[in-house]
Structure 1
Amino acid sequence: MPLTHIAAHNLPSAVRLGEAPTLASSAVVRDCHFGRYTQVGEQVQMQDCVLGDYSYLQPHCDLISTDIGKFANIAAMVRINPGFHPMECPTLHHFTYRPVMYGMAEQNDEDFFAWRRRQRVIIGHDTWIGHGVVIMPGVHIGNGAVVGSNAVVTKDVPPYAIVGGVAAKLIRYRFPRAIAQALEATAWWDWDHATLTARLPEFKDLRKFLAQYAP
Structure 2
Amino acid sequence: MSSAERPRPHTGTLPPEGTVHPSAQVHDSRLGLFTDVGEGPRLLEVSLDDYSYCDRFADLAHVDVGRFSNIASFVRVGATDHPLDRASLHHFLYRSTRYWAEESDDEEFFERRRARRARIGHDTWLGHASQVKPEVTVGDGAVVASGAIVTRDVPPYTIVAGVPARVIRRRVEPGLAERLQRLAWWDWDHATLRERLPDFRRMGVEEFLDAYES
Specify the alignment match of 2:27 in structure 1: 30
Alignment of 1:73-88 (within 5 A): 73-88=70-85
Cα shift at 1:89: 0.4
Distance 1:161 1:209 in 2: 19
Q: For 1:117, which of 102, 114, 121 is the aligned residue? A: 114
Alignment of 1:133-148 (within 5 A): 133-148=130-145
Q: Name which one, 1 or 2, has greater alpha-carbon Rg.
A: 1
Q: For 1:150, which of 141, 147, 163 is the aligned residue? A: 147
Task: Give secondary structure in 2 for the equivalent of 1:172.
Answer: strand
Specify the alignment match of 1:99 in structure 2: 96
Cα shift at 1:16: 1.3
Distance 2:12 2:32 in 1: 16
RMSD across aligned positions (CA):
1.3
Distance 1:120 1:31 in 2: 14
Distance 2:135 2:82 in 1: 16
Task: Give secondary structure in 2 for the equivalent of 1:50.
Answer: strand
Specify the alignment match of 1:7 in structure 2: none
Distance 1:64 1:105 in 2: 29
Alignment of 1:51-70 (within 5 A): 51-70=48-67
User: Kindly tell me: are residues 13 and 160 of structure 1, through their superposed partners in 2, closer, same or farther at Cα, counting changes over 3 Å?
Assistant: closer
Identity among equivalent positions (%) equals 47
Cα shift at 1:27: 0.2
Alignment of 1:173-192 (within 5 A): 173-192=170-189
Runs of 4+ residues deviating >4 angstroms: none
Structure 1 gap ranges (5+): 1-11
Distance 1:178 1:135 in 2: 27
Is 1:213 the counterpart of 2:212 in the alignment?
Answer: yes
Is 1:128 the counterpart of 2:125 in the alignment?
Answer: yes
For each residue in 1:8-62, what CA deviation from the matched residue of structure 2 results, as whole angstroms up to 9, or x when unmatched?
Answer: xxxx984211211200000001110011100001111011110010000001011
Task: Give secondary structure in 2 for the equivalent of 1:171.
Answer: strand
Which residue identity is paired with 2:180?
L
Cα shift at 1:163: 0.2
Distance 1:213 1:106 in 2: 61
Distance 1:93 1:106 in 2: 16
Task: Give secondary structure in 2 for the equivalent of 1:92.
Answer: coil
Specify the alignment match of 1:200 in structure 2: 197
Specify the alignment match of 2:4 in structure 1: none
TM-score by length of 2: 0.92
Which residue identity is paired with 1:49?
V
Specify the alignment match of 1:171 in structure 2: 168
Structure 2 gap ranges (5+): 1-8
Number of residue pairs matched by the alignment: 204
